[in-house]
Amino acid sequence: MTSIRLVTKYLGTMALRPTDHTWQGFTQEQAGLLDFLDHLGNNGWARNPQSEEILPTLMGDFLDAGLQVSQVKDAMKSIGYSKDALHQLDRWESKRVTGRFGR
């Protein structure tokens, strides 16, 4: 988790989340994962080699941390992500579960 926080600290300018934002109602682990996802969302979680490598695993990390995809999407919506960007998270969850990138 420490490496995730370091990445978001130094690359936080790419994130939509305001620098003073706190994830109310989430554990420290969950907040760290949400911060990292926000950082990766600077391109709306588009499909590319970097996201192919990271996002399916990250979606599993959310589940392991006790968060459902709907909760993750609600958190990202609360900081300004669009409907289209949020749909990409469903597609990445499909990739994690089925091995195929969803529609």
Decide if 15 is inside a domain: no
Total domain count for the chain?
1
Decide if 62 is inside a domain: yes
Per the structure, the complete domain to which residue 46 belongs is given by 2-9+27-97
Distances (CA, A) of 69 to 12, 33, 59: 23, 12, 8
Decide if 17 is inside a domain: no
**Ranges in the chain, pLDDT < 50:** 6, 8-13
* Amino acid 77: pLDDT: 95
Decide if 89 is inside a domain: yes
pTM summary value: 0.81
* Amino acid 87: pLDDT: 95
